[in-house]
Amino acid sequence: MRNAIVKTCISLAAGILIGAFGIGAVHAQQSGIKRTVLMKHALSVQGHDAVMGHAEIGAGMETGKHTHPGEERGYVEEGNLILHIDGKPARALKAGDTFSIEPGVAHNAKATGTAAAKVLAVYVVEKNKPFAPPAK
């Protein structure tokens, strides 16, 4: 049932051209990584948006160390990855695992194994801030 819901959401979002998770022009994709915004909605918390996104990270590829101006909560749909979050030990994640990343904390995810890793994530972020700037 859950996979059917996710596939329906992805199908509905296929025609949406929202750049950088809803911030402006079409976001350039890093080679080997496909990001899709499934939903962006203003929250009742003034100055914040909820963003639901789907990422597919090709085998052996990584997101690159970056941050977000808010919280990230994720669910690994398929594949395996190593998640590096500053200040914490690296975590090996597989399909069915979840993770949380606090605002402004640098992190990087690398797909391991022979197949792509697919992740569904929900963000609560400050409006009008760069969505995923590279970490220093």
For position 111, which CATH number holds? 2.60.120.10
Does residue 132 lie within any of the structural domains? no
Does residue 134 lie within any of the structural domains? no
**CB-neighbour burial class of residue 3 (10 A; exposed 0-12, middle 13-18, buried 19+):** exposed
Does residue 133 lie within any of the structural domains? no
Does residue 62 lie within any of the structural domains? yes
Q: Which amino acid is at 33?
A: I
Six-digit token string for 54: 């789907």
pLDDT category at 45 given cuts 50, 70, 90 is: confident
Burial 86-112 (b: 16+ CB within 10 A, else e): eeeeeeebeeeeebebeeebbbbbbbb
Please state the pTM of the whole predicted model: 0.76
Does residue 66 lie within any of the structural domains? yes
Give me the mean pLDDT over the 65-69 stretch.
94
